[in-house]
Each structure stands twice: as C-alpha cells, then as structure tokens.
Amino acid sequence: MSPQSASAQTSSKHQTLDIQSTPKKHNHTCDHMGSVRLRDEAGNVLFLIVLYCLQGVPLGLSMGSMPFLLQASSSFTSIGLFGIAAYPYSCKLLWSPIVDSVFSRRIGRRRSWIIPLQTLSSIVLILFADAAESALLASNVFRLSALFFVLVLLAATQDIAVDGWALTLLSRTNLGYTSTCQTVGMNAGFFLSFTVFLAFNDKDFCNRYFRSIPQETGLVSLSSYMKYWGVIYAAVTLYIALFRSEKDTCGESQQSLRQSYSQLWNVMKLPAVRRLTTVLLLCRIGSIVAEGAGTLKLLEKGVSKEALAGIVLLEFPIELFSAVLAGKWVSGDDAFSPFVMAYHGRLTLAAMVTYLVYAFPTGAAMWMDNPLAFLAVLGLGVATSFVSTLMFTAQGAFFSQISDPAMGGAYLTLLNTISNLGSSLPRLIVFWLMDQLTVRQCWMEDDWAMHLTCPSKKDDALAPNPCTDVGGDCLITRDGFFPLSYSLVLLGFILGQFFSRTLSSLQKLPLSAWHAKHPKEI
C-alpha cells in the first residue's frame, strides 16, 4: 500500500470525525498494483471472509430461519411482512456516501465504521436475545421484524465499509477474488444461521442424533445462538481495533458528502448502469416463489422439521464447496456467460421444485417414509444453491471489474443494492398473491359446508374460524403456490432472451462507460 501524503499525515493527528470538504489528488506509487500471488495475500483473504461471514449471520436468521420457524403459526402474508426486516440491505445505497465520506483519519476510513457497528451489533445480539425468543414463542411478527430490522441495518451499513476495504486489501491482480470472499463468507454466515441453527434448534433432530434421553427443546435456542454470535462479534471487533491497521488507500479520492451523492447520481444516470439495473431488478422474479415458499409448502404437506433439518445440514458442506467452485469459474473476464447459464438453470430448477411440492407424498414425514422423495429434495436443494451462488458470484466479479475505486465502497454498494432490490421488493407482493390465489373450503361430516368460511390467516389462534369452531376442517381446494410459481417461471424464460443479449453487449463496453466524471470535472 502507498504511504500517506504529507497533508493526510498532518491531519491524521486529529481524532474527531470530519467530512472531507475538498477532493484531494494523490500521486501514489501503488505497490499493490503489480502481480501478486493469491497465497501471498491469504491473510487478507481470510480476514475478508470473516467480515462477510459476520454479515451473513443476521441475514441467515432474518431471511432463512425466522420464516421457517414462523411457518406453523403465521400466514404467508405475515411471513412476507417479516421480510421487511431485510430491506436495509436493499436501501443501503441511501446512506453509503455518508459511510464513504465521514470518518476519522486517525482510526481509518473503514475502521471508523466497522468497529462501532460491530460493537453495536454485539450489544443488540446479547441484550435482546431473550426478547427475540419470547417474541418467537408468542408469534409476535411485529416485534421480531423490528429487532431484526435493526440487526440487518447494522450489517448492511457494515457491508458498505467492508466493500470499500475489499477494493484496497487485495492487489489489482487478485481483485476479482473479492466476490469469492464475499460469496464464501456470506454463505458461511447465512447457512450457519439457517442450516446449522435450524438443525440444532429442532428437538426431534437433537433427540434422535445427539441425546440418549429425549428433551422438549433443541440443543440451541434462538436466545443462546444470538448471544453466542454477540460474543464472536465482540472478539472480532477487538481484533480489528488492536491488531488491524488501515493504510491510506490507493486511487480513492476524498470528497465532500455533497460531492459523494452527486457522483453517485451521475453513475446512476450512465446508460450502461441503467441497462444493467433493468436486468438486476428482474432476473430473480421467475424463481422467487419456488425458492421462497417451496420448503414451507413441504412443511404443510407433513414433512417434519427434523427431516428438513437433516437435509439442510447435509447441504451445508456441499454448498460451501460449490461457492469456491463458482468463484473459480467466474474468475476470468467473461463473468456473464456463467451468469446466463445459471439463470436458465435456476428457472428450470424452480419448475422442478414446484412439481416436486405437488408430487411429494402427503404425510411422508421422515426419510424412511419415502427415501426417493427426500433424496429429490436434497438434490434439488443442492443444485439450486449452486446455480444461485454462481449467479451471485458472477455478478460480484463483474461489479469488481467495473467498479470505480475513486468512489470507495459506494459504487459496489450501488450495484449490490439494485441486485438486492430485485429479490426483496417482489417478496411481499408474491407471498400476498399466494394467499389471495389460494381457495379454502370447509369440509364437515363427509360433505362440503359451503356456507362456512375459512379465513386464510393463521396468525391469531384465538381468532374466530366459522368452520373449525363447529368441528369442520378447512381444506385447500386451490393452492395459489402452483399457478403463481409456474407463471413466473414462464415469464422468467421469456425475459431470459432479453437478458442474454443485454449482458453480452454490456460486457463488451469499455471501462469508461461505467465511470462517471468527478463532480469537480463536470
């Protein structure tokens, strides 16, 4: 890394937070721009993976485990509402210029944010762990949403700083591996908080495989799991504060907050960025139903949580391996060929998952009830994880290639925010549509009781239900999951033709097409 300029060295004596009022031009000798072997930077690679892993923990809980745990007592509409907790990852662009512009020179541009953010995350995880457990037991979706919204907000803001640091921690030769670090780290954190946590939280799974005397709870509760990660957050933060220094960045300008927002707006107006935005906003619409609700529909058909916990635990090492494999696949200059291939594979798998949910035998709770059916669930789960990881890694590699280091982490944050919007914004609408398209009728005494209604929501067990209150059963006569999923898969294939042509042309554009002029140059 290059030494600091004289003016920067002088101002580094001040410890107060400040906003850079004028852009400074640096004439650095960038020693990290030459050819450097990846293994020579193994320490920085591992460090990035750990930071991204920490960000994956609240995402794994909010987007994976919590909908799974709420399924038994909440409607799909309520589960969709809980998805609002993940919205900060889709809106972090709004405050990313602040993270890039406001910092302490003495502490470092990235450490100024990462240290306090991880400290706050640690405090929230430890102090509010018991409150989260109580809200889950009471199916209080509002309280859970508020708590996890805060956790995801902290992680999303940290992600801005980590993305900016990633662009300078690795040499230009190995810069493409930043997306691999992000993929491996985020996947590890996500699946530890989804896959592993669900397995050890399920009492049946723990009683079968880890206990000689059955108990009424799993080995790990939501409260204890959150407290455990609160301690991990604190330990990593202490390491960064004591042993990780941050040198002056190479190629990054220091600019005012107004200039940061102005340059971000200039990037958003670039024709290339607008075309890429269209693809990122629409590329997940075809698979969102199958991937978001397929597992929940299997629970409705009688599959036990113990069986699914075992499946996701088996998927964990396979998914980590697929993340590394995907990173090697997209490490070249042609990142979007594997992206398009994975996109069509993802749609095909979504259609297969939808059919599997339909054909899965009702009442098959455990592996021994129907081994082939559960093997199909495992196979489709692993394949879906691989193609989704390949898409994520491919787009991340392309983002790193076109990103403007003069903007710090704001450029990567812009592109990642747009990508996140493509998966988070449709979720609430899609889950609401599933409830609206589903028809339930009352079955009573060997005949349909058409005059009795069956409310679609299950959130309040004490709420009146005209059918069940008189001894009837509410049965689904039309499941909105299937027509909605197949319709969106078909739409996805139609859009895929447009995506292939657009991405092919975007990849051929020169780097100048992706970089906006600095506000002072306009």
The confidence score (pLDDT) of residue 226 equals: 96
List, in order of start, the domains of the chain with CATH numbers: 39-245+252-438+479-521 (1.20.1250.20), 439-478 (no CATH)
pLDDT tens profile 384-436? 888 888 888 788 778 877 887 777 567 877 888 888 888 877 777 888 888 88
d(CA 491, CA 488): 5
- What is the rounded distance in angstroms from the CA atom of residue 434 to the CA atom of residue 480? 5
Q: How far apart are CA 170 and CA 160, in angstroms?
A: 17
pLDDT surpassing 90 at residue 238 = yes
Count of other CB atoms within 10 angstroms of residue 185: 24
What is the pLDDT, as a whole number, of residue 176?
65
pTM of the complete model: 0.70
Tens-digit pLDDT profile for residues 107-163: 888 899 999 999 999 999 999 999 999 988 888 888 999 999 999 999 999 988 888
Does residue 7 surpass a pLDDT of 50?
Answer: no
The dihedral sign for the CA sequence 398, 402, 408, 409: negative
Percent of residues, the chain, with pLDDT higher than 90? 26
Determine the number of helices (DSSP H) and then strands (DSSP E) in the chain.
21, 4
Does position 255 have pLDDT exceeding 70, yes or no? no
Structure tokens, 116 = 């306090």
pLDDT band at 349 (very low <50, low <70, confident <90, very high): very high
